[in-house]
């Protein structure tokens, strides 16, 4: 018993949808990791523990930058650049000199003993080690005012010369201030003044040139960028690696340029690749959950995963050295845009491109070119009206042209920095142009295959289903002409209403064409076909319960026919949902009359459902009822048509049949207005054409008070034409 419970619990666990989603997620990430990592195992076959296992010969001429040597040279050049000096504030230094002069004058004026004055001067001037200390102090205290002022004036002029030349921290540190002062002395300075000026300026001078770190860094970077990279050329046939040779960075770069993927993929590398794939996939799913929830369904996720894995596999299988510009990323974008939305296609392409760029070590120019081209592609796809399949080819040509402009622009910019072969530019431009065109052809040709594989209907598939020469529609036209005509009218209503509220008009029209195909099983039991074949209503002979079973069975019958003819799931929704769980009111009321209210339950006379869960199927539910109801009216006025439409919408709302649909009250108002406008056009009256206009006019002539002269002439002309016609017949 316990064993049975365990098995039952395990079965329930694996049957839950969450487990299925988790298995699908991890299955995809493992597969993507395996595909990306598979390219790296080839490198492991030739390199082991950083040493070459065999000779590797260049299949083409390779020009490889010696990055290590180039970087070393650039560092050396940067170190030789002298720091850039910028002038500091000079006013502070000048004000210090002025303050010093003022202080000396104040000390001289003090009425204190000379000893105290000398002590104050010694505090003011740090000249303890100066050999002319006594002379300087005596001069500052005892010299006449003119001599003192002259000394300070010449000090000020000398200071101006020094500041103009500039003094750096290095000059200050070397303790050569005296030399700087002597070199900048003004003319006509006596020997006795030189020592005083020197002592004064030594007290105030500080560095006025400081290092500008920002400007120095720019100067060093400019010097580094001016250094041309060291390049090593491997001619075709040269050995890139010898057997047993260590693989340096230069050799790795050469191998990478030769087309090898130079990852030595160990378990750490595999885990790193898986983490990148895991994060990328998770981010895409988060985007879908928060912004495109309607497409977070198994079939849409399945085709997204399949196309992603297919593109990654193609990238792995590309021959060594082939340009990545032939990678059919535009085909991926076109198919994803058609099967989902252009926005989803762009998000998927960017995530996939990021994973592949890391895994396959794509150059940055390829990533930039494909990223910008992806944006252009989805913008172009959003403008397609899906009238014809050739529209995709035209879009592919536009994508190719855009890619050509992008790649050419990148190479023009690159040519400003390094020498790029013109042959390489022409080759890659041709690749990207052809890529766009060929991708569109591949996408257009593979659409039917993917539609069948993943049971997703595209606008092109809808257009094909909407062709009135389709087998089911031809059969409906022949076996149930009344139903066919009704479906045509309903499809016109649905298409117009869907377009008015922003739903899918093509899907609404095609779904409406097929919604009643279940009536093909028993066409004569439906009133619209009875009048065509001029037969008596067979329901007059049946019990209301039997009639209800026959009528409501057309949804389940339609589903069987749809599955047999492999109609898409979304079209099957129109068949099963167009009545929802609505009440077959005619037979319900008949049953109430015959059996009594207490013996009849509404649930027994309702359709099996489900209720409409799409805007398009909800529109169909209303249109189906409205068209039948308005057709039953005799010469209805616009007011009667509007009243009937509103009545039906209110009934469906009150009955809860629209509770699962995303229609808003505003949508319902727009739908009602659209139906009213179209039905008024369908119900217009025609005038009665007169067989013999002149005679009719003669009869009415006595009732006309005055006839216009021109009208009289026209009547006579008509009479003459009539007489001529009679003569010709005779």
Rounded Cα–Cα distance for residues 480 and 682 (Å): 21
Res. 652: pLDDT tops 50: yes
Indicate the CATH number for domain 467-682: 1.10.3210
Which of 359-363, 512-516, 542-546, 596-600 has the largest mean confidence?
512-516
Whether residue 12 is predicted with pLDDT greater than 70 in this model: the reply is no
- Given a contact cutoff of 8 angstroms between Cβ atoms, the answer to whether 108 and 117 are in contact is yes
Q: What is the average pLDDT value for the chain, to the nearest integer? A: 81
Strands 85-87 and 209-211: antiparallel
Distances (CA, A) of 299 to 71, 349, 453, 502: 52, 18, 9, 24
Residues 519, 529: Cα–Cα separation, whole Å: 10
pLDDT at residue 431 tops 90: yes
What is the predicted pLDDT for the residue at 313?
Answer: 93
pLDDT in tens, 80-139: 777 766 666 666 677 777 777 777 778 777 777 877 777 777 767 766 656 666 777 777
Q: Which of 60-64, 260-264, 642-646 has the lowest mean pLDDT?
A: 260-264
Q: Are 378 and 337 in contact (CB under 8 A)?
A: yes
For residue 90, what pLDDT is reported?
64
Indicate the pLDDT class of residue 552, thresholds 50, 70 and 90. very high
Q: By mean pLDDT, which of 176-185, 470-479, 699-708 is the weakest?
A: 699-708
If one counts every other C-beta atom within 10 angstroms of the C-beta of residue 695, the result is 13
pLDDT at 285: 95
Nearest to 307 by CA among 270, 344, 261, 262: 344
Res 644: pLDDT:
94
Exposed/middle/buried for residue 172 (C-beta within 10 Å: 0-12, 13-18, 19+) = middle
Which structure tokens are listed for 217?
A: 């860094």
State the greatest distance between any 2 C-alpha atoms of the chain, in Å, as a whole number: 162
714 — pLDDT class (breaks 50, 70, 90): low
Confidence at 59, pLDDT banded by 50, 70, 90? low
Considering only residues 437 and 184, tell me which one the structure prediction assigns the higher pLDDT.
437
pLDDT at 102: 79
Distances in whole angstroms, Cα of residue 639 to Cα of each of 174, 510, 530, 645, 720? 105, 30, 30, 10, 46
Spatial contact of 336 and 349, defined as CB atoms under 8 Å apart:
yes
Separation between Cα atoms, residue 121 and residue 133, nearest integer Å: 11
pLDDT of residue 715: 47
pLDDT of residue 87: 64
Who wins on pLDDT, 352 or 4?
A: 352
DSSP-based helix, strand, coil % in the chain, nearest 5: 70, 5, 25
C-alpha dihedral sign at 512, 515, 516, 520:
positive
Helices 569-577, 544-564: axis angle to 10 degrees equals 170
User: For position 727, what pLDDT does the model report?
Assistant: 42
Distance CA 464, CA 470 (A): 8
349 CB contacts (<8 Å, ≥6 apart)? 329, 332, 333, 336, 370, 374, 378
Q: What is the pLDDT of residues 655-685, one digit of tens each?
A: 999 999 999 999 999 999 999 999 987 765 5
Q: Give CA–CA dist 39/227, Å, rounded.
A: 35
* pLDDT at position 128: 61
Q: For CATH 1.10.3210, list the domain ranges present in the chain.
A: 467-682
Q: How much is the pLDDT for 204? A: 72
Answer yes or no: is pLDDT of 697 > 70: no
CA gyration radius, the chain: 47
Both structure tokens of 419: 């020498």
- Please state, for a pLDDT cut of 90, what percent of the chain lies above it: 41
Average pLDDT over residues 320-330: 87
| pLDDT confidence bin for 4, thresholds 50/70/90 | low
- pLDDT at residue 238 greater than cutoff 70: yes
pLDDT for residue 625: 94
**For strand 51-52 and strand 56-57, is the pairing parallel, antiparallel, or unpaired?**
unpaired
CATH 1.10.1760 residue ranges for the chain: 267-456
**pLDDT(393) > 70:** yes
In this model, does residue 372 exceed pLDDT 50? yes
Look at residue 165 and tell me whether its pLDDT is greater than 50.
Answer: yes
Would you say residue 706 has pLDDT above 50? no
Q: Which fold has domain 267-456?
A: Arp2/3 complex 21 kDa subunit ARPC3 (1.10.1760)
State residue 43 phi and psi, 5-degree precision.
Answer: -65, -35
| Nearest to 154, CA basis, from 198, 122, 124 | 198
């Amino acid at each position: 018993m316990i064993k049975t419970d365990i098995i039952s619990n395990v079965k329930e666990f694996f049957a839950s949808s969450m487990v299925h989603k988790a298995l699908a997620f991890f299955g995809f990430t493992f597969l993507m990791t395996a595909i990306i990592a598979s390219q790296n195992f080839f490198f492991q076959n030739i390199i082991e523990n950083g040493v070459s296992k065999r000779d590797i010969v260049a299949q083409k001429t390779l020009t490889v930058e010696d990055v290590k040597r180039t970087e070393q040279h650039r560092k050396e050049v940067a170190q030789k650049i002298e720091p850039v000096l910028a002038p500091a504030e000079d006013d502070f230094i000048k004000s210090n000199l002025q303050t010093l002069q003022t202080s000396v004058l104040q000390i001289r004026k003090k009425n204190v003993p000379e000893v105290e004055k000398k002590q104050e001067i010694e505090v003011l001037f740090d000249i303890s080690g100066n050999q002319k200390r006594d002379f300087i102090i005596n001069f500052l205290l005892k010299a006449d005012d003119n001599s003192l002022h002259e000394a300070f004036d010449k000090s000020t002029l000398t200071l101006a010369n020094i500041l103009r030349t500039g003094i750096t921290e290095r000059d200050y540190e070397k303790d050569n201030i005296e030399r700087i002062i002597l070199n900048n002395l003004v003319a006509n300075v006596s020997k006795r003044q030189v020592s005083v000026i020197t002592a004064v300026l030594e007290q105030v001078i500080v560095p006025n040139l400081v290092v500008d770190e920002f400007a120095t860094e720019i100067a060093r970077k400019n010097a580094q960028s001016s250094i041309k990279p060291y390049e090593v050329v491997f001619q075709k046939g040269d050995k890139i690696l010898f057997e047993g040779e260590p693989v340096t960075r230069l050799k790795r770069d050469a191998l990478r340029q030769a087309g090898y993927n130079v990852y030595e993929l160990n378990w750490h590398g595999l885990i790193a690749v898986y983490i990148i794939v895991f994060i990328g996939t998770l981010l895409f799913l988060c985007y879908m959950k928060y912004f495109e929830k309607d497409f977070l369904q198994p079939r849409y996720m399945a085709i997204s995963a399949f196309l992603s894995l297919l593109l990654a596999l193609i990238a792995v299988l590309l021959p060594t050295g082939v340009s990545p510009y032939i990678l059919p990323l535009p085909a991926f974008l076109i198919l994803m845009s058609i099967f989902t939305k252009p926005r989803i296609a762009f998000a998927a392409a960017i995530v996939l491109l990021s994973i592949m760029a890391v895994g396959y070590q794509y150059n940055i120019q390829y990533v930039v070119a494909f990223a910008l081209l992806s944006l252009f592609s989805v913008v172009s796809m959003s403008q397609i009206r899906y009238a014809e399949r050739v529209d995709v080819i035209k879009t592919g040509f536009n994508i190719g042209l855009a890619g050509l402009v992008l790649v050419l622009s990148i190479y023009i910019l690159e040519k400003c920095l390094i020498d790029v072969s013109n042959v390489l530019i022409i080759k890659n431009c041709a690749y990207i142009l052809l890529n766009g065109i060929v991708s569109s052809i591949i996408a257009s040709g593979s659409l039917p295959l993917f539609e069948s594989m993943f049971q997703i209907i595209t606008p092109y598939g809808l257009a094909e289903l909407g062709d009135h020469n389709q087998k089911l529609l031809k059969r409906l036209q022949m076996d149930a002409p009344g139903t066919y005509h009704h479906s045509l009218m309903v499809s016109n209503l649905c298409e117009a209403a869907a377009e008015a509220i922003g739903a899918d008009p093509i899907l609404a029209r095609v779904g409406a064409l097929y919604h009643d195909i279940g009536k093909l099983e028993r066409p004569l039991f439906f009133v619209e076909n009875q009048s065509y074949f001029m037969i008596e209503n067979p329901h007059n002979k049946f019990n209301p319960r039997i009639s209800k079973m026959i009528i409501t069975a057309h949804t389940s019958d339609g589903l069987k026919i749809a599955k047999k003819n492999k109609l898409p799931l979304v079209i099957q929704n129109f068949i099963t949902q167009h009545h929802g769980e609505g009440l077959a009111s005619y037979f319900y009321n008949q049953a109430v009359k015959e059996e009594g209210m207490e013996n009849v339950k509404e649930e027994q006379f309702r359709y099996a459902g489900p209720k409409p869960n799409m805007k398009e199927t909800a529109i169909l539910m209303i249109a189906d009822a409205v068209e039948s109801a308005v057709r039953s009216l005799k010469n209805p006025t616009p007011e009667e048509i509007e009243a009937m439409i509103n009545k039906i919408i209110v009934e469906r709302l009150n009955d809860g049949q629209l509770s699962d649909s995303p229609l808003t009250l505003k949508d319902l108002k727009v739908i009602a207005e659209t139906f009213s406008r179209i039905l008024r056009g369908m119900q217009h009256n025609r005038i009665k054409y007169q067989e013999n206009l002149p005679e009719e006019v003669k009869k009415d002539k006595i009732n006309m008070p005055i006839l216009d002269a021109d009208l009289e002439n026209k009547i006579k002309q008509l009479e003459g034409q009539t007489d001529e016609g009679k003569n010709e017949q005779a």
